[in-house]
Amino acid sequence: MSKPKHKKSRRHESSVKSGARRKFFILIAVVLTVGIAAAVTLLRGGNGGFDALNGRWLRPDGGYVLEIRAVDASGKIDAAYRNPKPINVAKAEATRDGSKLKVFVELRAPNYPGSTYTLTYDPQQDQLRGIYFQAVQQQRFDVYFVRTK
C-alpha cells in the first residue's frame, strides 16, 4: 500500500513566491539607487560640479577681475577681486538651481561696504552674467564677466 501524497498548500507556495518577489524588487531598487547616486557624483565631479567656474574672469566694462581659484563641494569659493588693486572678498559661494550654476560674491572694503555680485554661469557663452549691487550708491547694474584663462 502506498502512502498518501501530501499536497503543499497553494497558500504556502503563494506566500513564499511573493516574499521572494518582494526581496528581489527591493534589491533592484537599492542597486538602482546606489548606481544613480554614483553616476551623479561622477558626472558632477568631486566638488559638486562647480569646475566650470574656476578661472580668471574679466568684466570688460571696467577691467574688474574676479578670480575663482577653487570651489569646494559645499559651494564655498576661494576667490579674489581686483579693481585693479585687490579688494576684500567677504563671502563667495556657488549654488545650483537645477542645471544652472550661480555665483554670489560680497565685497567688504572702503567704497565697497557690502557691494555684491549675483551671477549665473552661461556655458554657451562661457560667461558669468548677472547683477552688480553697488552698496554706496544703492544701485544695481547688469554686468557680465568673460573668461581670460
Distances (CA, A) of 40 to 33, 34, 45, 46, 90: 11, 10, 8, 10, 31
Q: 118 near 133, Cβ under 8 Å?
A: yes
Question: Domain limits at 29?
Answer: 9-44
Count: domains in the chain: 2
Residues 71 and 113 in one domain: yes
| Residue pair 117/131 in contact by the 8 Å Cβ criterion | yes
Strands 127-134 and 115-122: antiparallel
Digit-coded pLDDT (tens) for 86-135: 999 999 999 999 999 999 999 999 889 999 999 999 999 999 999 999 99
Kindly report, residue by residue over 88-99, the tens digit of the pLDDT: 999 999 999 999
| Residue 4, domain member (yes or no) | no
Q: Are residues 85 and 124 in the same domain?
A: yes
pTM: 0.69
